[in-house]
Chains A and B, each alone.
Chain A
Amino acid sequence: MPGMWWVVSATLAVALVAAYLVWTAGRVERLQSRAELAARALDAHLLRRAAAAAVLAERRYGVELYAAARIALDAGPEEREAAENDLTRQLRTVRLDPSDPECEAVIAASRRLALARQVHTDLVRDARSARSRPLVRLLRMGRRHAWPRYFDIDDPTLTVPVDVPAG
């Protein structure tokens, strides 16, 4: 019965395609939600750094750093990247003393922010590449989520001068 083989192979093909589609949809969903979690973590670290900088500015470094920290805290989504870069620049102009707890808080927050930024950039890249596949776009998988957006800021790591005696 040659007709029988047609039915079997067609069913098998449909099952394989369906499995692939379900798997791809799950993959897109997973990458997408991971990018969103990373964005939330990045947001938290940005706030933490700005808050630590504001505390420090209030006590020691005066109005410019304080203004930069406030602007970063209050910035809307459009100007936030520029405001954060500005804060990084301001922090680099002051001399931070790692033995002071408030300075150390800013240094640590910047270090953690640098990690969050790195992780976020990687995960957004993965999510975007998954979502730009032709099949994914054709079937509009992941349409419940906004298109993942990079957060483009300079590396916020602060280099602390290591106190090494001249040899």
Chain B
Amino acid sequence: MRIGIVCPYSFDVPGGVQNHVMDLAEALIGLGHEVSVLAPADEDAPLPPYVVSAGRAVPLPYNGSVARIAFGPVSTARVRRWITRGDFDVLHVHEPLTLSLSMVAVLCARGPVVATFHTAMTRSRVLAAAQGVLQIVLERITARIAVSALARKVQVEHMDGGAVEIPNGVAVAKFTGTQPLPDWPGECAPGRGGTLGFLGRFTEARKGFPVLRDAFVALARERPGLRLLVAGPGDPDDLYDPLPADLRDRVTFLGLVSEEDKARMLRSVHLYVAPNTGGESFGMILTEALAAGTTVVASDLDAFRRVLDGGRAGRLFRTGDPAALRSALVELLDDPAHRAALTACGDQVVANFDWPVVARRVLEVYAAAIEATDGRVIDQEWVGLG
């Protein structure tokens, strides 16, 4: 199959959508399909061979963050040329409701169009003002995919339509094949030692880092050798200041890590802790930790409960409760057999999220879209006759 994928955000900056697009494209290529990805990129940026640049992206404040996107007549011309040259069986756009390449591609193309909705955002303000445009974009999409139950709910409730829920994949091989960081995770015996991990914005309230910090402080005093490894964007002072001075040397901060180091970091801890207090739509990091073969301790949010198969693939504790987290940590650190049982179960769960498995499900959606449309993807006059 010839597949054209449009990524709205520039590959120069790492992000969830970009990673998803790259992993999906590589998985589809691995299954023997021809894939071309159109994305904004600087002229001299190093790109994977399957990516076509649609020109430089401009930073634009959007929905509370800065998105680097391309939009306008030059981008439109490139999108149309790419569609014409590509001769695709199916066009797969990501986040088509952002003002971006994806939207341009949807408006330019006729034929089988599949759209993936990542964020659980409702209508953006720009588009709320242009209801008619939104309708025209949605009308051209043949099949919709939502990456989480929450994103799907938004589709059903606000966009007048259903969507197939296909979760984010995990490139399992990237996580199993790496070595832990040197000197980590160290010893872990009953009553002493052990390493906890946390990854993410520790200053953001909904990530729940204070819950982990309280549990760690209480536990570290009675458990010699207990260490905490933290990675993520943020100022080290915000991390260390709230900690008691005598425990600071037992917390290691890695800063913002690359995808590669993320995998190594996840393999460098005995327990990965996800103390989130809400707002997490899928829990990507949990599947990554499971893929790395690390035992997961997570708050019992709906999304986490679902990923962890109701608690069989990881230990759940009451959301926002440091005491509950602390007793879960003690229990697991003292019991390697229990940890092994959880990770064995995690391996099976994560097999369902492996990219080749996920990509096959996406291919079934492509087939459904192709059946409901006549012909291939063709370029047409913008806002042309129907």
Task: Please list the residues of chain A having a beta carbon within 8 angstroms of any beta carbon in chain B.
Answer: 22-23, 25-27, 29-31, 33-34, 37-38, 41, 44, 111-112, 114-116, 118-123, 125-126, 129-130, 162-167
Contacts and interface: CB of A to CB of B under 8 A. Distances in A.
A112 B367 contact: yes
A41 B368 CA distance: 8
Contacts of A167: 311-313, 341-342, 344-345
Contact of B372 (A29, A120, A130, A163): A120
Nearest to B138: A126
Interface string B123-163: 00000000000010011001110000000000000001111
Contact of A119 (B142, B311, B312): B142
A165 B345 contact: yes
Listed residue (A41, A164, A167) with the most chain B CB atoms within 10 angstroms of its CB? A167
Contacts of A38: 371-372
A41 B311 CA distance: 40
A119 B349 contact: no
Given A34-B372, A41-B372, A119-B142, A23 B312 contact: no
The 10 closest A-B pairs by CB, nearest first: A26-B386, A41-B371, A38-B372, A115-B368, A167-B312, A167-B345, A26-B385, A30-B386, A122-B161, A167-B341
A37 B374 contact: yes
A162 B309 CA distance: 10
Contacts of B143: 115, 118-119, 122
Contacts of A116: 368, 371-372
B42 to A, nearest CB: 37
24 contacts: A22-B385, A23-B386, A26-B386, A27-B139, A34-B372, A41-B371, A41-B372, A44-B371, A112-B368, A114-B164, A115-B365, A115-B367, A116-B368, A116-B372, A118-B143, A118-B162, A125-B161, A126-B138, A162-B348, A164-B349, A165-B344, A165-B348, A167-B312, A167-B345
Contacts of A37: 371-374
B373 A27 contact: no
B254 to A, nearest CB: 30
Nearest to A121: B162
A31 B139 contact: yes
Given A37-B372, A119-B143, A122-B162, 14 more contacts: A26-B385, A34-B372, A37-B371, A37-B374, A112-B364, A114-B164, A116-B372, A120-B372, A121-B162, A122-B143, A162-B348, A165-B345, A167-B312, A167-B313
